Amino acid sequence: MILNTGSRTDIPAFYSEWFMNRIREGFVMARNPFDPKTIIRYDLDPKTVDLIVFCTKDPKNMLKHIDELKRYRMYWNVTITPYGKKIEENVPHKKEVMDSFRELSKKVGVNNVVWRYDPVFIDEIYSINYHLLIFEKMAAYLRGYTKAVIISFIDLYEKTKRNFPEAREVSKTDQEFLVKEFVKIAARYDMKVRLCHEDKELERFGADGSGCLSRKVLEEATGLTFKKTSGNYARQGCECLLGNDIGAYNSCMHFCRYCYANYDKQAVLKNRRDHDPSSPLLIGHVEKDDVVKIHRSVSVIEDQTSLF
């Protein structure tokens, strides 16, 4: 099983105590966001959890727990963007996040931590030239600590339109120019550019379009071969393995204006009040009328010996 912690919220940044309690107790529960009375219980035995995927804007709170987690394989996506507090209200200073990134890389290995520079949007402050300047500075500082950087352009989901009404899509011409330049810059610092759910035509500029958490990417990072599954994809055209997510929507306290996972600040604050680090659920507790289903946690690693 590949366990995903980060498509709905940022567990390392805000819920590290809860997560480690779950690891120590050996199981975790997650509500189905589309059927809230249904709860999935996941066994956290390292024999069946083949990989834990973390997505975060701030890994600092988890650094002290890495040694305890080393009985699991880990793969980290760490988002570091150039935006200020008006866009990313509670994200720490970028230098602090980059320092945590470097320390994380030393602990888990350069193949297991990836820099995300997304979403990319353009306005009067964050111009094309600004992006190129900051991207290069960040790439220089992260050189030797990762082998890849993931980029994507802003998607205007309904939640994004409501919380960030002035946001605009990046034109095809600007996307092509930025990808071409990002590829050149990344190469100077020994990184390759991966695209997250972008037009395949952008691959002609040298970017890798295989995704950010696809089977191919995770196999390259771990050196393992995963069994082919039917997939549990986040959206049409996405091949990333984003099932088995133990997070919850409307619970991330970064309050990024472009976020697709938060409805509004009040919903997040309410859920935060309902968070109990000792509960098996990230938000709230199991109620009497909840239906708990046991996930059939089995390894998805291909048995190499079966070939002989």
> Looking at the domain assignment, is residue 113 inside a domain?
yes
Strand partners, 29: 41
Q: Give one word for 64, left, alpha or beta, with left for phi > 0 and alpha for psi -120 to 50.
A: alpha
Residue 109 one-letter amino acid: G
Contact 100, 60 (CB under 8 A): yes
CA distances from 40 to 29, 36, 172 (A): 5, 10, 41
Report the alpha-carbon distance of residue 73 to residue 103 in Å, rounded: 17
**Domain range spanning residue 133?**
2-302
Give residue-wise pLDDT tens across range 217-251: 888 888 888 887 655 555 555 666 777 999 999 99
pLDDT band at 8 (very low <50, low <70, confident <90, very high): very high
Prediction pTM value:
0.93
> Looking at the domain assignment, is residue 90 inside a domain?
yes
> Looking at the domain assignment, is residue 252 inside a domain?
yes
> Looking at the domain assignment, is residue 307 inside a domain?
no
Give residue-wise pLDDT tens across range 44-101: 999 999 999 999 999 999 999 999 999 999 999 999 999 999 999 999 999 999 999 9
Q: What are phi and psi of 291, to 5 degrees?
A: -110, 115
> Looking at the domain assignment, is residue 99 inside a domain?
yes
> Looking at the domain assignment, is residue 199 inside a domain?
yes
pLDDT for 303 equals 67
Report the alpha-carbon distance of residue 174 to residue 191 in Å, rounded: 22
> Looking at the domain assignment, is residue 308 inside a domain?
no
| Count of domains for the chain | 1
Peptide bond into 119 cis (omega under 30): yes
> Looking at the domain assignment, is residue 224 inside a domain?
yes
Q: Cα dihedral angle (142, 210, 10, 93), rounded to 10 degrees?
A: 30
Average pLDDT in the chain: 92
